[in-house]
Amino acid sequence: MTEFLVALGMIAPLYNLAFVLIAVYLFVKLFATRQTGHVYLVPWKLIFAALLVFVAEEVLTILRVLDIINIPIHINGFFELFMIVTFIYALLTLKEHVKVRHL
């Protein structure tokens, strides 16, 4: 059973990148649609930036697993911190936009 878990851990970043490709396609379709009226896209752009950081993190993880690069694993924490801060900032900008629009 442990060999299966090791194999799953090695292939999981590739599955993550496959799912991210679907998400990137959906973001491209969102940004390419003709917007009628005022559409507030700033939070979506911030989330897209966080998604791109996730892609960079996964690529580094794959390169580390394949022994192409030798980067300490704690570097991933900086990527995750940036993503969490970006998500929180996106929520706060949306909250501020909704509060201003309803005044």
Residue-wise pLDDT tens digits, 43-76: 999 999 999 999 999 899 888 888 899 988 889 8
Measured between alpha carbons, how far is 94 from 14 in angstroms, rounded to an integer? 32
Asked if residue 79 lies in contact with residue 53, where contact means CB atoms within 8 angstroms, the answer is: yes
Residues in the chain: 103
Contacts for 42 with CB less than 8 Å, ≥ 6 apart: 90, 93, 94, 97
Residue 86 has pLDDT above 80, yes or no: yes
> Which amino acid is located at 6 in the chain?
V
Here the tokens at position 23 are 């998400």
Count Cα atoms within 13 angstroms, Cβ side, for 6: 3
- What is the percent of the chain with per-residue pLDDT over 90, rounded to a whole number? 50
Alpha carbons 48 and 57: distance in angstroms, whole number: 14
DSSP 62: H
What's the CA gap between 8 and 37, in Å, rounded?
46
